A and B are shown apart, each in its own frame.
Chain A
Amino acid sequence: NAGVTQTPKFQVLKTGQSMTLQCAQDMNHNSMYWYRQDPGMGLRLIYYSASEGTTDKGEVHNGYNVSRLNKREFSLRLESAAPSQTSVYFCASSEGRVQHFGDGTRLSIL
């Protein structure tokens, strides 16, 4: 019962470095999402993918890119990391209305 798996769990980067966060789900869901969570701000949508081959921007997409590699995998890339991107990143998947979350990636940009 893996559900939604995110790697890595923790990462420290220097400003300007690039990084790809990985997400995979084994529930055969069509839709996948990337969120970031900052203290006192709830979860904010970065990008989502309604189905394999499609991606759409969310509320806070600037500085990020995504790839829906196949139905299982949805990756988030930071091309040039900035301290403002220090956050906890959650991936989620859904089939229908309910979203299921991974355990998160804690990312620090120095």
Chain B
Amino acid sequence: QKEVEQNSGPLSVPEGAIASLNCTYSDRGSQSFFWYRQYSGKSPELIMSIYSNGDKEDGRFTAQLNKASQYVSLLIRDSQPSDSATYLCAVTLGAQKLVFGQGTRLTINP
């Protein structure tokens, strides 16, 4: 089992709809969880971090964490074409290291 798993997609969502991205992880000791956005040919950019169970909202983005189920998700409301990118889930392993999922490619259709 991979340490961090994501559906690689592609995930296609109509403009204005909610995009839902999911991630599961294997290490129950993980404490910090991140969502990075990566446009084609560019570097990863942090968009959300979450450290405790529940929801965390920032503008159109909501991160959800369920440590019991080892599950973290990202919701994007009112999806825009500019949200089309690959979204990387990352989870801490120990104090310093991040483990990344393979990424989900999201396409928002006008």
Interface, chain A (partner B; CB < 8 A): 31, 33, 35, 40-45, 48, 50, 58, 90, 94, 97-104
For the complex with contacts A43-B44, A43-B88, A94-B96, 20 further pairs of A-B residues with Cβ separation under 8 Å are A33-B98, A40-B8, A40-B103, A43-B90, A44-B100, A45-B98, A48-B96, A50-B96, A58-B97, A90-B44, A97-B32, A97-B34, A97-B49, A97-B51, A97-B92, A98-B49, A99-B46, A99-B98, A101-B44, A103-B43
For B8, list chain A residues within 8 Å (CB): 40
Give me 30 A-to-B residue pairs in the complex whose CB atoms sit less than 8 angstroms apart, sorted by A's number: A31-B96, A33-B98, A35-B100, A40-B8, A40-B103, A41-B102, A42-B88, A42-B100, A42-B102, A43-B44, A43-B90, A45-B97, A45-B99, A48-B97, A50-B96, A58-B97, A90-B43, A94-B96, A97-B34, A97-B49, A97-B92, A98-B49, A99-B46, A99-B98, A100-B46, A101-B43, A101-B45, A103-B42, A104-B42, A104-B43
